Chain A
Amino acid sequence: MDREEIWEVEAGEERRPGIIHIVITALLIGIGAVVGAFGSFTLPLGFGVNFFWPAIAVQNIGGIWYGAWGIIAAALFPIISNGIAGTPVYVSLAYIPANAFQSFAPAWAFRRFKADPRLKSGRDWLIFLVSITIGNIFGAFWGPLVVLKGFGLLTAESVPLFIWGWFAGNEIAGIVFGVILLKALSGVVINTTSFVKKWWA
């Protein structure tokens, strides 16, 4: 199957959102929550921010494989993982746009440019790296600037440092774990009924 075929809905092929997508969303939330809480307990910065957050990979690959369902999961699982790690509920809720966008950016890029989730070519790698970077830049601005500053947890002067810390922590973890997961499992996922070619099915 080439990269075009992966995303192409064949003539007569019926794709509908089904129960399996609800299930996959729930399972992604489960994995994200556990992996996220693990990161939050081992290397915590506080307020749900971590030096190194492997759960970003679940957000990235969730959006690529499962479209809107992955994005929903990406937006929701940090509420659980942050909660378990002691982040106040309203701080977690305020992170939702950043978490959703971190999943949306690669999801959109892979569909728009028909990149192969198995990362077969340099082009696929480039799309992956650029898209997660854009997602992380948005997240890095939203988190410290909007949420932490908004809640008065940071001073204006220290925000740039936190933006950089957020970005670096997510970017490195996203590349390391995202690449490994995409290389290891994309070949299986694209052949399952739960794989989402458009946004919902």
Chain B
Amino acid sequence: MNKTILGYVPEESPIYSLHPFVRVYFLMVVSLWPMIISSPEWNFALIVVMLILLEYSRVTLSTLKLYVPVSISMGVLILLSYTILGGRHPEFYEVFNLLGVPIYFERIVAAVEVYMRILPMIFVMVFFLSTSRERDILVAMRWARVPFTVTYLVAMSLRAVGMVIEDFSIVRQAEKARGYDPKGKSIPYKLRQFVMYIIPLMGLAIRRSEEFSNALVARGYSFTGLRRVKRPDYVLTKYHFKVLDGVIVAILSVALIALVYARYGLGLFTLEGSLTMKWLQQWLVGGAG
């Protein structure tokens, strides 16, 4: 099993036949698609595609459970922002009145549009984090010729995240060993306890910064390696950018351009022309709008 940022994926997952740069490119490009597409059903289709890709990549789909609360709270907030907190607009069609607050059809449609834009973007992010190892991100950056100092800062940061998580669990275990059990305690109590985590974590980081930099200096690290020598990139020799990788990058790029043209040149993927809009109209307005 390969340990990815969000979990584990089998080594024989087909996703690993692709160059890591393709995955980073996928994240950056496909995250843009929902911003261009207004039509909720097309964004829903993208969610389905992402689910298929997650399954095809043999990602454990239970990972998605983590994002259920966030997705729900986001949906509720968007809906609140567009309905109850959306102000009074006599020009809009009032579907019903909730304790004196008018709920407009146009606002509900807009909330659905926005929510259906944000969801596939989350799925793209989850797909990326579920299938990528820290090393993949570095390889992608190095392959794209990002300066070494930047890639190294990213590498150390990702390493630091892992280290802090380890420290965090050690501090928690130490607390448990001293009889602290957060179960059933109030949120203010838990937040107070959070202080007990943040101070040792910070203290450990300060101590580690010295050890870490000594270790780097002792192995000849400087901002640019030995400065006068060209720094080789051994890791990159382990990865090969194949024809298939090039084809996928090309398809993603062309699809983005085509999407921009379709949306802004041909007027496709709009909210007005969407099936969701028509269905909502029938359901909420009954054809009156």
Residues of the B chain whose Cβ atoms lie less than 8 Å from the Cβ of A29: 157, 160-161
Measured between C-beta atoms, what is the minimum distance from A22 to chain B in Å?
6
B70 touches A26 (CB 8 A): no
Q: CB-CB < 8 A to B203: which residues of A?
A: 184-185, 188
Q: Do residues A188 and B206 form an inter-chain contact, with CB atoms below 8 A?
A: yes
Q: A31-B201, A88-B122, A89-B27 are in contact. Are A23 and B216 (CB under 8 A)?
A: yes
Residues from chain A with a CB closer than 8 A to the CB of B107 are 155
- The chain A residue with its CB closest to the CB of B191 is A52
B173 on the A face (CB < 8 A)? no
Quote the shortest CB–CB distance from B123 to chain A (angstroms): 9
Chain A stretch 1-59: residues in CB contact (< 8 A) with chain B: 18-20, 22-31, 33-35, 38, 40-41, 44-47, 52, 54, 57-58
Cα distance A90–B125 when bound, in Å? 10
Indicate whether B168 reaches chain A with its CB closer than 8 angstroms: yes
Say if the beta carbon of A108 comes within 8 Å of chain B: no
Bound Cα distance from A22 to B168, whole angstroms: 22
Identify the closest chain A residue to B203 (Cβ).
A185
Interface contact B67-A86, CB-CB below 8 Å: yes
- Check A23–B126 contact: CB distance below 8 A: no
Shortest Cβ distance from residue A147 to the other chain B in the assembled complex, whole angstroms: 12
Cβ-Cβ contact count across A and B, 8 Å cutoff: 185
Q: Determine if B168 and A34 form an interchain contact, defined as CB atoms under 8 angstroms apart.
A: yes
Is A23's CB under 8 angstroms from B212's CB? yes
A107 interface contact, C-beta 8 A: no
**Choice from B70, B77, B117, B217 contacting A86 with Cβ under 8 Å:** B70
**A74-128: which have CB < 8 Å to B?**
76-77, 80, 83-91
For the complex, what is the distance from the CA of A88 to the CA of B119, rounded to whole Å?
9
| A31 touches which of B67, B77, B205, B212 (Cβ 8 Å) | B205
* Residue total for B at the interface (Cβ-Cβ under 8 A): 68
User: Would you give the 0/1 interface string for B124-163, flagging 1 where the beta carbon is closer than 8 Å to chain A?
Assistant: 1110010000000000000000000100110011111111
Contacts of A41 in B (CB 8 A): 66, 69-70
A20 and B223 alpha carbons, distance in the complex (Å): 11
Q: Which residue of the partner chain B has the closest CB to A159?
A: B81
The chain A residue sitting closest to B156, CB to CB, is A26
Query: Contact partner of A155 among B85, B129, B159, CB < 8 A?
Result: B85
Tell me whether A34 and B153 are in contact (CB under 8 A).
Answer: no
Q: How far is the CA of A27 from the CA of B153 in the complex (A)?
A: 10
Interchain CB contact under 8 A, A22 and B153:
yes
Chain A residue numbers with a CB within 8 Å of B126 are 86
CB distance from A46 to the nearest CB of B (A): 3
- B82 A19 Cβ-Cβ under 8 A: no
B191 to chain A, nearest CB (A): 7
Residues of B within 8 A of A (CB): 5-6, 27-28, 31-32, 35, 66-67, 69-71, 73-74, 77-78, 80-82, 85-87, 107, 110, 113-114, 117-118, 121-122, 124-126, 129, 149, 152-153, 156-165, 168, 191, 194-195, 198-199, 201-203, 205-206, 208-210, 212-213, 216-217, 221-223
Query: Which A residues contact B (CB, under 8 angstroms)?
Result: 18-20, 22-31, 33-35, 38, 40-41, 44-47, 52, 54, 57-58, 61, 76-77, 80, 83-91, 151-158, 161-162, 176-177, 180-181, 184-185, 188-189, 192-194
If A86-B66, A86-B126, A89-B125 are given as contacts, then 4 extra A-B residue pairs at C-beta distance below 8 Å, sorted by A number, are A19-B213, A27-B156, A38-B194, A40-B70
